[in-house]
Amino acid sequence: MRHRRPTKPSPELQRHRQVRADYLRDLARIQGKADPSPPSPREIPPEERCTTCGGPTFVMSYGRVCSLGLHDG
């Protein structure tokens, strides 16, 4: 089975998307809605941190594993 490369959007479609994005942005500004800001990163409790590097961990059947994957242990 061949993999099909995605086709490049036509100039008409690109313009349509840009006009729509501009419209929605201006509408949100008129309605007084703030631009969506990214959520603040979750604070990791000390018991969920890696003891070696301090990064986040995830639970496996045999214990917690560093999710950064940079080291063993």
Within the chain, residue ranges assigned H as helices are: 11-30
Report whether 64 contacts 58 (CB < 8 A): yes
Question: Is residue 58 a contact partner of residue 65, using CB atoms and an 8 Å limit?
Answer: yes
The tokens describing 30, both together, are 């008129």
Which residue stretches of 1-69 are H helix?
Answer: 11-30
pLDDT tens, N- to C-terminus, the chain (73 residues): 677 887 888 999 999 999 999 999 888 888 887 666 667 777 888 888 888 888 888 888 888 888 888 776 5
* pTM for this model (two decimals): 0.40
Residue type present at position 11 = P
**Residue corresponding to tokens 């214990």:** 63
